[in-house]
């Protein structure tokens, strides 16, 4: 007898519902698994494995070759991320776009080792004046453009008052004593007030070195843009600033001038050299100020014997290429090494430089600096001392001669300037 067992309708419905629930649960689990995996992958790509934000690096050239400016200094290298991240620091800088980027032109100062033939620019940017469009380095008597590392020069004409009226002082002859008297008073304290009553040029110049061959004295007024108002003699230019010592040690300035160059460093006059020394002038003995015309030997005798306290420790030397400056002792007899002074690397010191022309005619100045730690033997005419400079610019004799000839300031084709150390220290000028 066969037995047939049949599921009730209620049990069958329950079994179908259970199967449906299992299918739905499996489907939901699959969806959740796939969705969760996709979410994890997305988060990994976006927040963990994404590329580091691109950066744009801007380089700003250093302002060492430019004249002083009150504009704030921009850091040389800066970066700004397009979207900052605190978790990841990119090791490679990439560009996320191929779009063109406009960049400002950048001039980067280069030293002599790069062999670019930097020339000395005597020009002042005076249009048709000496050095049209030149003067970037601030050499000679300076550049007319403000900004950067340079000493600031002011020009005075002793023949005129500040309003342009005659002062009674004339260049040459009997007027020479009056000029030396004024300069003597100035060198006692280097005060601007001493020269305030005299005509002052509206233009200031910014000089990074003083290295000018013998030329015509009218160059001074032309350089300052007052060639039409000031005659060639009885003028003075004073440069002021602060410089940072490039190294610790003992130094001395070496130079000369026609008519005179004087340097006050750290509030002490450490060099006065040339055909006239105004600090030696007096009403009782006006001739003592002359170091030419037969008086050079008498002056150096006083220095060696210690009778001249102002120029104590000075030394006369000759350098190759200076036939005019080196001639016999009835004239200048060479160039002058001044008093030794000591500095600490990185310290800032005030400095002032005076250049002047008394009778007119020829004019020229040069200023070197001796680093005594180098041990150059005094008296060797082949010595190459450092050019005193406040930035990387260096003089080029050929360019100097061309510029002087252009303005008709040349007094012969031979340049009277010494050779110098091409790797000269830089005494950076600071505000």
Going residue by residue through the chain (431 aa), what tens digit of pLDDT does each one get? 444 455 566 666 777 777 777 877 777 777 887 777 777 777 666 566 555 555 545 544 454 445 555 544 444 434 344 444 444 444 444 444 444 444 444 444 444 444 333 333 333 333 333 333 223 456 678 888 877 899 999 999 999 999 999 999 988 777 789 999 999 999 999 999 999 999 999 999 999 999 887 888 888 999 899 999 998 889 999 999 999 999 999 999 999 998 999 999 999 999 999 999 999 999 998 888 988 777 888 899 999 999 999 999 999 999 998 887 887 666 788 899 999 999 999 999 999 999 999 988 888 899 999 999 999 988 899 999 999 999 998 877 777 777 777 778 777 766 677 889 999 999 999 98
Q: What is the pLDDT of residue 49?
A: 53
Q: What's the whole-model pTM score?
A: 0.69
Separation between Cα atoms, residue 41 and residue 43, nearest integer Å: 5
Decide: helix, strand or coil at residue 152.
strand
> Which of 355, 153, 186, 338 is closest to 261 using CA atoms?
355
Separation between Cα atoms, residue 385 and residue 388, nearest integer Å: 9
Q: Is 365 exposed, middle or buried (0-12, 13-18, 19+ CB in 10 A)?
A: buried
**Contact at 8 Å (CB) between 107 and 61?**
yes
Separation between Cα atoms, residue 97 and residue 93, nearest integer Å: 12
Q: What is the pLDDT of residue 296?
A: 85
Separation between Cα atoms, residue 394 and residue 417, nearest integer Å: 13
**Contact at 8 Å (CB) between 399 and 121?**
yes
CATH of span 122-430: 2.60.120.380
Decide: helix, strand or coil at residue 264.
strand
Separation between Cα atoms, residue 371 and residue 424, nearest integer Å: 10
Per-residue burial over 109-124, b = 16 or more CB atoms within 10 Å of its CB, e = otherwise: beeeeeeeebbbbbbb
**39 φ, ψ (degrees, to nearest 5):** -65, -45
């Amino acid at each position: 007898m066969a037995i047939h067992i049949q599921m009730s309708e209620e049990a069958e419905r329950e079994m179908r519902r259970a199967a449906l629930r299992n299918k739905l649960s499996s489907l939901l689990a699959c969806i959740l698994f796939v969705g969760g995996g996709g979410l994890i992958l997305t988060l990994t790509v976006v927040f963990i494995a994404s590329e580091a934000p691109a950066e744009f690096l801007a380089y700003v050239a250093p302002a060492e070759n430019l004249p002083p400016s009150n504009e704030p200094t921009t850091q040389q290298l800066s970066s700004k991320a397009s979207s900052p991240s605190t978790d990841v620091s990119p090791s490679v800088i990439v560009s996320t776009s191929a779009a063109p980027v406009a960049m400002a032109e950048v001039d980067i100062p280069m030293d002599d080792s790069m062999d670019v033939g930097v020339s000395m620019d005597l020009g002042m940017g005076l249009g048709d004046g000496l050095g049209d469009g030149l003067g970037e380095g601030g050499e000679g008597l300076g550049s007319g453009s403000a900004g950067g590392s340079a000493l600031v020069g002011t020009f005075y004409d002793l023949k005129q008052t500040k309003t342009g009226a005659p002062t009674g002082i004339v260049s040459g002859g009997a007027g020479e004593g009056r000029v030396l008297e004024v300069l003597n008073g100035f060198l006692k304290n280097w005060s601007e007030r001493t020269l305030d009553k005299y005509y002052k040029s509206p233009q200031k110049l910014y000089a990074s070195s003083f290295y000018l061959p013998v030329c015509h004295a009218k160059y001074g007024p032309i350089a300052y843009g007052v060639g039409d108002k000031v005659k060639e003699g009885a003028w003075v230019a004073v440069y002021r600033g602060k410089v940072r010592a490039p190294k610790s040690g003992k130094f001395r300035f070496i130079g000369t001038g026609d008519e005179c160059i004087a340097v006050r460093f750290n509030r002490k006059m450490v060099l006065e050299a040339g055909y006239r020394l105004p600090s030696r002038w007096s009403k009782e003995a006006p001739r003592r100020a002359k170091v030419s015309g037969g008086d050079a030997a008498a002056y150096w005798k006083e220095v060696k014997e210690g009778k001249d306290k102002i120029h104590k420790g000075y030394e006369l030397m000759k350098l190759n290429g200076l036939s005019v400056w080196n001639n016999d002792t009835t004239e200048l007899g060479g160039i002058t090494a001044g008093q030794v002074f000591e500095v600490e690397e990185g310290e800032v010191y005030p400095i002032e430089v005076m250049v002047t022309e008394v009778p007119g005619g020829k004019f020229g100045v040069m200023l070197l600096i001796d680093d005594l730690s180098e041990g150059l033997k005094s008296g060797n005419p082949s010595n190459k001392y450092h050019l005193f400079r406040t930035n990387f610019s260096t003089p080029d004799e050929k360019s100097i001669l061309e510029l002087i000839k252009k303005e008709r300031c040349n007094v012969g084709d031979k340049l009277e300037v010494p050779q110098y150390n091409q790797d000269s220290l830089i005494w950076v000028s600071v505000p």
